[in-house]
Amino acid sequence: MRLHRNAAVGISLWALACGAPAVAQQSSGAGVPPQAATNTTQSTAPEPAAEQGSTNDIIVTAQKRAQALQDVPGAISAFDSKQLAITGSRSIGDLTSQAPSLVFGQTNGGTFVTLRGVGVSVDSGVVEANVALHVDGVFVPRTTMATIESADLERVEVLRGPQGTLYGRNATGGAINLISRAPTKVLTGGFVAGVGNYNTVSASSYLSGPLSDGIRVRLSAGYDYRGDGYVKNLYTGDDFDKLSRYTIRGALQADLASNLTFDLSAQYQDEKFQTYQQIIYPLGAIAPILFPALGSAVAPSKPRTVGNDFNPNSYRSTLLVRGSLIWDLSESVQLKSISGYIDHRFKNELDGDGTSEPIITVENRRQPSKVFSQELNLTGEVGTGINWLLGAFYFQENFLTDIPVPFPSGIPGATPATSLPAGSVAVSKLSERVRSLAGFADATVTVAEGFRIYGGARYSHDVKHSEQTSGVEIPGLGILSSCVNKKQRLEFNSFSPRVGAQFDVTRDAMLYAQYQKGFKSGGVNSSSCGDTYEPEKIESFEGGFKTQLLGKRVTLNGSVFYYKYNGLQLYRYFITSSEIDNANARTYGAEIETVFNLADFLRLDLSGTWLDAKYTRFSSTDQSNLAAGTRNLAGNRLDRAPQYSFTVAPQLTLPVGGDTFDNFVLRADVRFSGSYYFRVFNEPRDRQAPFQMVNLTAGLVSARGLTLRGYVKNLTDVDVVSHKFDSPILGTYFGNYLPPRTYGVEIGYNF
């Protein structure tokens, strides 16, 4: 492993700036006071490390108010700071081996997050995600923003199933909440630094404490560097998929009065990276016919190899500012305001054909976004039998997607009139002004001892103003299209109710059943002139149970569910463009999530999902198989929806009896996944074969704050496709892979 000079300087800067770990070995979830959890940030000192048996006593705010995880009806996984530190989890992708039904992929700077088979298949960044991401209560709308990472997390909540009532916007599949640590009343801090293969270096730190009796601050920072890429370019001899990323966050918490608290935080992440799309299968016979130069081109299809005539470069930055006011109007009524601002910038370039010939390129792809959101929540209790919530939400976004795709050699056609000359550029530019206004209400009523009914509703009004330019720019002729600066206005209204019942069988066993709806607005196809796609609507029926046995040493949660999906948004490629179609589908399945604390030193996590997710009404033409004509695709499986997936994760904690360290912790996360598809046509080449992914971590932990951890991710070095799509013009598929085997060591200290 080589230590890059910039990386070494980065570590030194963080150490000098904060001198202190972003990965502290405390569990700030168990035993968190409800008021602190309601604020989503706690002002008290870090809690001592939780015992193994209290893992599922985490306080969550999944329903906009503080509740113990086991008391919340619905399928929710939550991971506190201690568990995140043990597994080395800092991003959504790290949770796939821990949260049931979660499938994660990335390509070209965008992300694919799927829960129970509900997710986005559009990789251009034009549409918003189906699984809503919130960072400290602020909604993050675009798939290129979902790479936000943090080593200063208090907890992560994964909500499965539509969340249309409480979360509304783009939560048809579920919601993921990233909740950062808050300033503390006592001085605390720490650092963690590590090195790994592929010339990887990481460092993070935090410092937190009071400025006065009523004002507290927290500063945290992180740096990640990968000097050697995962991908080999056989044409240039270089490797790429390198990375340089830094994150800095500041938070302030002030007690303006005994019943009024103000929170302000700002987080900035800056990232230079290299995306790629490689040839997954050998070029088809049509490729050298259309482009004779490809007959002798370097065009490898081995995993993580390309023959690019240039190495790509991409850039992304995200500024997220959050402000909140929490006003306790009385002992039972609280008003909370959350204001959010996001300034996101994204630039991307890559070799679109994966060969040594300049056939297709993507240059100067830009997708900036500026977002403002405001949410108000009024919560309260009536006696001991009624909990209620009233809310309002406003959202506005200015978004631009500009994806020029040059064809340096042109594109031959059946006749000269249908050919594109050298230097032609496929133009796809869309600017949007999005406005959304919603009001919602929710309540839980105790009907009898141990029996509660709950429900609510949300009404949303969305307006999208768009301006679109689409077509082909031909040298000397300009843009040939009837769609230049075309303006459109789209309006969507939705009503998303929820109703359910909850019954406490015993003090530690609960049953629930619920019905809820989700909604996701439609939009404009950026590369199809004047064409629009319809909104998504989903209905969900779910029943489940949550239990804790043997003095809370065993936690056993399960659920069954059925979804009816109308207007599922799908992506389809053409020669020089793409479009979004709508389909109907249905999904049903079952999940189980268990934690066994077999002894004080041995813990075993088991989780699994069985899923049957299929289209019920959809017909389409496969551009890679035009001879088949229009096909009825009812009965085909949804994208990224494996029929089964399960995880086995044993964790061993042994005392070491030394002066430096107290315990040795060893954990393995073994994830098994059935096959799934990346396209609606379910062709053999659309399929990802079943696979097993093994992650290992081993660490020494001291009660005095010192930690030493080693890790291996993807132990068996299995090749798993992250995303792939068909290229009719070259007779093949393009895509990329999840990272290969990576390993490293980290050392940390906190006080």
Helix/strand/coil (H, E, C) string of 246-287?
Answer: EEEEEEEEEEEECCEEEEEEEEEEEEEECCCCEECCCCCCHH
Contact present, 580 and 571 (Cβ < 8 Å):
yes
The pTM for the full model equals 0.89
pLDDT above 60 (res 20): no
pLDDT at 689: 97
Which range, of 17-31, 45-59, 63-77, 298-312, averages the lowest pLDDT? 17-31
- Residue type at 411 in one-letter notation: I
The conformation of residue 90, written as its DSSP 8-state character, comes to: -
- Per DSSP, 637 falls in state B
Query: Is a pLDDT exceeding 60 seen at residue 12?
Result: no
Average pLDDT over residues 591-595: 96
Q: Taking 80 as the threshold, does the pLDDT of residue 549 lie above it?
A: yes
- What is the arithmetic mean of pLDDT over 164-178? 91
Which pLDDT score, from 0 to 100, does residue 298 have? 96
Q: Which has the higher per-residue pLDDT, 274 or 414?
A: 274
Mean pLDDT of 359-387: 92
pLDDT of res. 596: 95
Which one is predicted more confidently, 334 or 45? 334
With a cut of 80, say whether residue 32 has pLDDT above it. Answer: no
Cβ neighbours of residue 56 under 8 Å, at least 6 residues apart? 69, 70, 548, 552, 555, 595
pLDDT at 2: 41
Whether 343 has a pLDDT exceeding 60, the answer reads: yes
Asked if 150 and 120 touch (Cβ cutoff 8 Å), the reply is: no
Q: What per-residue confidence (pLDDT) applies to 418?
A: 66
Of 648, 654, 750, nearest in space to 698 by CA: 654
What is the distance between the alpha carbons of residues 305 and 302, in angstroms, rounded to a whole number? 6
Q: How sure is the predictor about 445, in pLDDT bands with cuts at 50, 70 and 90?
A: very high
**Structure letter (DSSP) for residue 716:** T
Percentage with pLDDT > 90 across the chain: 66
Query: Residue 503 is which amino acid?
Result: F
Task: CATH number of the domain at 592, please.
Answer: 2.40.170.20
Least confident window among 35-39, 252-256, 437-441: 35-39
pLDDT at 195 over 90: yes
Q: Report the candidate in 151, 157, 112, 154 with the shortest Cα–Cα distance to residue 134.
A: 157
pLDDT at 269 over 90: yes
Give mean pLDDT, residues 667-676: 97
Cα angle vertex 498, ends 495, 500, to 5°? 165
Confidence of residue 15 (pLDDT cuts 50, 70, 90): very low
Q: What local confidence, expressed as pLDDT, does residue 610 receive?
A: 97
Lowest-confidence pick of 104-118, 628-642, 699-713: 104-118
Question: Does 148 or 614 have the greater pLDDT score?
Answer: 614
pLDDT in tens, 225-244: 999 999 999 999 999 899 99
- Assign 169 a pLDDT band (cuts: 50, 70, 90): confident
- At residue 410, the pLDDT reads 84
**Which one has a higher pLDDT value, 411 or 436?**
436
Tokens of 91: 């991003």
pLDDT bin (cut points 50, 70, 90) of residue 26 is very low
- Looking at 17-26, 123-132, 463-472, which range is the least confident one? 17-26
Taking 50 as the threshold, does the pLDDT of residue 47 lie above it?
Answer: no
pLDDT at 384: 82
- Tokens read off for 709: 């951890």
Report pLDDT for 665. 96
User: Which stretch of 23-37, 113-127, 341-355, 491-505 has the lowest confidence by average pLDDT?
Assistant: 23-37
Residue 388 Cα distances to 391, 442, 453, 499, angstroms: 10, 6, 12, 14
Residue 100 bridge partners (DSSP)? none
Q: Which residues are registered as beta bridge partners of 68?
A: 59
At residue 125 the predicted structure's pLDDT band, cuts being 50, 70 and 90, is low
699-738, pLDDT tens digit by residue? 999 988 999 999 999 999 999 999 998 888 899 999 999 9
Listed range (383-387, 409-413, 452-456, 626-630) with the worst mean pLDDT: 409-413
Q: Does residue 325 have a pLDDT over 50? A: yes
Give the residue numbers spanning the domain of 227.
Answer: 5-750
For residues 276-287, give the mean pLDDT. Answer: 92
The stretch 634-649 carries a mean pLDDT of 96
What is the percent of the chain with per-residue pLDDT over 70, rounded to a whole number? 90
Cα separation, 519 vs 173, whole angstroms: 10
Contact, 406 vs 361, CB < 8 A?
Answer: yes
Give yes or no for residue 537 having a pLDDT over 60. Answer: yes
What confidence score (pLDDT) does residue 427 get? 86
Mean pLDDT computed over 288-306: 93
* pLDDT classification of 203: cutoffs 50, 70, 90: very high
Would you mind telling me the total number of residues written for the chain in this entry?
751
Residue 659: per-residue pLDDT: 83
| Number of separate domains in the chain | 1
Reported as type and span, the H/E element at residue 456 is: strand 451-474
pLDDT grade for 472, boundaries at 50, 70 and 90: confident
Q: What's 705's DSSP letter?
A: S
How large is the average pLDDT for residues 84-98? 87
**Which range in 76-90, 147-161, 418-432, 455-469 is most confidently predicted, on average pLDDT?**
455-469
The arithmetic mean of pLDDT across residues 171-193, rounded, is: 95
Is residue 326 pLDDT above 50, yes or no? yes
CA distances from 582 to 243, 530, 534 (A): 36, 16, 7
- pLDDT above 70 (res 28): no
pLDDT score of 22 more than 90: no
What whole-number distance in Å separates Cα of residue 191 and Cα of residue 629?
60
- Sequence-distant (≥ 6) Cβ neighbours of residue 16 within 8 angstroms: none
Does an H or E element contain 217, and which? strand 215-226
Average pLDDT, the chain: 88
How much is the pLDDT for 478? Answer: 77
